[in-house]
Amino acid sequence: MSEPLNKLLQQPGLWRASSIGCQSDKNPGSGFSQLDRELPGSGWPVNGITELLHNQYGIGEFRLLAPALARLSRQQTRWLLMVNPPYIPYPPALVQAGIDLTRIVISQPKTARDYLWVLEKALASQSCSTVLAWPGKIHEKQIRRLQVASREGNCWGILFRPEQVAAHHSPAELRIRIRAGNQRRDNTSLDLRILKRRGGWESSDIHLDLADQLLRPMPDFSEMVIEQPGQCDPVDPVLPEHPSTHSLRTYEYQ
What are 143-157's pLDDT values in tens digits?
999 999 999 999 999
Q: Strand locations in the chain, DSSP E?
A: 49-53, 79-83, 104-108, 128-133, 156-161, 174-180, 189-196, 206-209, 249-252
Mean pLDDT of 113-122: 96
In this prediction, residue 58 carries a pLDDT of 86
Phi, psi for residue 100 in degrees, rounded to 5:
-80, 115
Nearest CA-CA partner of 170 in 203, 143, 149: 143
Instruction: Give the pLDDT of residue 188.
Output: 80
Helices (H) and strands (E) in the chain, counts: 6, 9
Instruction: Tell me the pLDDT of the chain averaged across its residues.
Output: 81
In this prediction, residue 233 carries a pLDDT of 47
pLDDT at 182 over 80: no
Q: Please choose, from the candidates 13, 33, 35, the residue with its C-alpha nearest in 3D space to the C-alpha of residue 22.
A: 13
pLDDT-derived band at 162, boundaries 50, 70, 90: very high
147 contacts 49 by C-beta, under 8 angstroms: yes
Which range, of 19-28, 41-50, 100-109, averages the lowest pLDDT?
19-28
| Residue 191 phi, psi (nearest 5) | -110, 120
Residue 135: other Cβ atoms inside 10 A? 17
CATH homologous superfamily for the domain 46-216+248-254 = P-loop containing nucleotide triphosphate hydrolases (3.40.50.300)
Taking each helix axis as running N to C, give the angle between helix 112-124 and helix 140-153, from 0 to 180 degrees, rounded to the nearest 10: 30
Return d(Cα 30, Cα 45) in angstroms, integer.
10
Lowest mean pLDDT of 127-141, 150-164, 209-223, name the range. Answer: 209-223
CA atoms within 13 A on the CB side of 80: 21
Residue 210 confidence class, pLDDT cut points 50, 70, 90: confident
Q: Residue 18's pLDDT is what?
A: 44
Percent of the chain at pLDDT > 90 equals: 56
Domain map of the chain by residue range? 46-216+248-254
CA–CA distances in Å: residue 29 to residues 39, 42, 174, 219, 252: 9, 6, 14, 36, 32
Residue 14 CA neighbour count, 13 Å, CB half: 7
Over residues 180-208, mean pLDDT? 84
> What pLDDT is attached to residue 185?
63
**Burial annotation 81-113 (CB, 10 A radius, 16+ → b, else e):** bbbbbeeeeebeebbeeebbbebbbbbebeeee
Beta bridge partner(s), residue 107: 83, 251
Model confidence pLDDT, tens digit, residues 20-42 = 444 444 678 898 999 999 998 88
CA 138, CA 49: separation in Å to the nearest integer?
Answer: 13
Per-residue pLDDT of 55-97, as tens digits, reads 989 888 999 999 999 999 999 999 999 999 999 889 999 999 9
DSSP one-letter code for 107 = E
pLDDT > 60? residue 253: no
236 pLDDT exceeds 60? no
190-218 mean pLDDT: 82
Question: Of residues 241 and 92, which shows the higher confidence score?
Answer: 92
- Least confident among 115-119, 207-211, 221-225: 221-225
CA distances from 150 to 79, 111, 125, 126, 205 (A): 14, 22, 9, 9, 28
